[in-house]
A and B are shown apart, each in its own frame.
Chain A
Amino acid sequence: QKEVEQDPGPLSVPEGAIVSLNCTYSNSAFQYFMWYRQYSRKGPELLMYTYSSGNKEDGRFTAQVDKSSKYISLFIRDSQPSDSATYLCAMSITGANNLFFGTGTRLTVIP
């Protein structure tokens, strides 16, 4: 079983829709949770960063962590065509050396 599981999609939504992206994990020791966005033929860039459980909001993006269920989510409100990208979840116990990535979910927002 992989440490981090993520539905690869692809996911297509109309512009303005609310998008929900999710990852599950098996290691209860994970403390740090991240979402990266990767545009086609580019490197990943950090989108959201949370420590332990709870919610974090940044503009149209909300990250949620439910450690009891070993489940994390990224919500995108009022989705835009510019949000079309692959979204990767990542997590670690402590220290950046042992960062575990999901396989990524490809999102397309249709104008």
Chain B
Amino acid sequence: NAGVTQTPKFQVLKTGQSMTLQCAQDMNHNSMYWYRQDPGMGLRLIYYSASEGTTDKGEVPDGYNVSRLKKQNFLLGLESAAPSQTSVYFCASSDLAGGRTDTQYFGPGTRLTVL
């Protein structure tokens, strides 16, 4: 039982390049999330998915896209990377039962640098 896994662990991009961050969970959770963590800013929600095939914007969605084609996978795309997207990206999953806030389980993170 690996929990939430993320690939890659590290990535360096040049401005304008595109890439996809991958997240997988093996807990059969319905909900998945993408956050970015910056010094002094805390964790900020980029996008979330309440169920397979659905996605919604979070607090900071600009410059990103997501897809949730399979229940266990949630992909985060950077269309045209900018230095402002240098950050640590965390994926999380949770199982919201009966409207109760449930625990979010986090992956180990992807450290992205955009030059």
Contacts and interface: CB of A to CB of B under 8 A. Distances in A.
A96 B90 contact: no
B53 interface: no
A32 B33 CA distance: 18
Nearest to B35: A101
A92 interface: yes
Interface residues of B, number: 27
Contacts, number: 58
Interface residues of A, number: 25
Interface in B38-81: 40-45, 48, 50, 56
A43 interface: yes
Given A44-B43, A44-B90, A97-B96, 16 more contacts: A8-B40, A42-B109, A43-B4, A43-B107, A46-B104, A49-B103, A88-B43, A92-B101, A95-B96, A95-B99, A96-B104, A97-B31, A97-B50, A97-B56, A102-B42, A103-B42
